A and B are shown apart, each in its own frame.
Chain A
Amino acid sequence: MNKTYIAQACTVALMMVLAGCEKATYEPAQQSGANPPLPKAQKFFIPPIQTPDRTGWAEGEKPTVADGLAIEKIASGLMHPRQLLTLPNGDVLVVEANSPGTVPITSPKQMIASIVKDRSGKGGKGGNRITLLRKAAGQSGEWEKYIFIENLHSPFGVQLIGDTLYVANTDNIMKYHYTPGETRMSDPGVEFTDLPSTVNHHWTKALLASHDGKKLYVGVGSNSNVAENGLDIEYRRATVLEVDVQSAASRIYASGIRNPTGLGWEPTTGKLWAIVNERDEIGADLVPDYLTSVQEGGFYGWPYSYYGQHVDQRVQPQRPDLVARAIRPDYALGSHVAPLGLWFYQGRNLPEKYHGGAFIGQHGSWNRTPLSGYDVVFVRFKDGKPEGVPEPIVTGFASADQRTLKGAPVGLAEDAEGALLIADDVGNTIWRVTARGTDTSAPR
Chain B
Amino acid sequence: MLTYPVQTRSRLAHTVFALLNPIPFGLFVAALIFDAIYACNANVFWVKSAAWLNMIGLIFAIIPRLINLVHVWMPARRSSRVEKLDFWLNLVAIITAIVNAFVHSRDAYGVMPEGVWLSAVTVALIAIGLIVSALQQATTPGGRHE
Contacts and interface: CB of A to CB of B under 8 A. Distances in A.
Interface of A: 3, 6-7, 10-11, 14, 17, 43-47, 106-109, 224-230, 281-282, 313-317
The secondary structure that dominates the B interface is helix
B109 A316 contact: yes
B110 A314 contact: yes
Contacts of B98: 14
Contact of A224 (B43, B91, B107, B110): B107
Contacts of B43: 230
A403 B106 CA distance: 26
A17 B96 CA distance: 12
A7 to B, nearest CB: 6
Contact of A281 (B91, B101, B103, B106): B106
A109 B43 CA distance: 18
Interface of B: 42-45, 48, 51-52, 55, 84-85, 88, 91-92, 95, 98-99, 101-110, 114
**SS of A interface (majority):** loop
B102 A46 contact: yes
13 contacts: A3-B84, A7-B91, A10-B91, A43-B114, A45-B99, A108-B104, A229-B44, A281-B107, A281-B110, A313-B109, A313-B110, A314-B106, A314-B110
Contacts of A46: 102
Contact of A108 (B42, B52, B88, B99): B52
Nearest to B43: A230
Q: A-B pairs with the 3 shortest C-beta distances? A: A316-B42, A228-B107, A314-B110
A40 B110 CA distance: 14
Given A106-B48, A317-B42, A44 B106 contact: yes
Nearest to A112: B105
A43 B92 contact: no
B102 A7 contact: no
Contacts of A315: 108-109
A43 B99 CA distance: 13
B39 to A, nearest CB: 10
Contacts of B109: 313-316
Nearest to B50: A107
Most B-side CB within 10 Å, residue of A6, A47, A109, A224: A109
Contacts of B114: 43
Given A6-B88, A10-B92, A46-B102, A227 B108 contact: yes
B44 A3 contact: no
- The interface centre, meaning the residue of B48, B91, B102, B110 with most chain A CB atoms within 10 A of its CB, is B110
Contacts of A316: 42, 108-109
Nearest to A231: B44
A8 to B, nearest CB: 11
A182 to B, nearest CB: 47
Most chain A CB within 10 A, of B55, B98, B107, B108, is at B107
B118 to A, nearest CB: 11
Contact of A45 (B45, B55, B84, B102): B102
A109 B105 contact: yes
A154 B95 CA distance: 43
A47 B88 contact: no
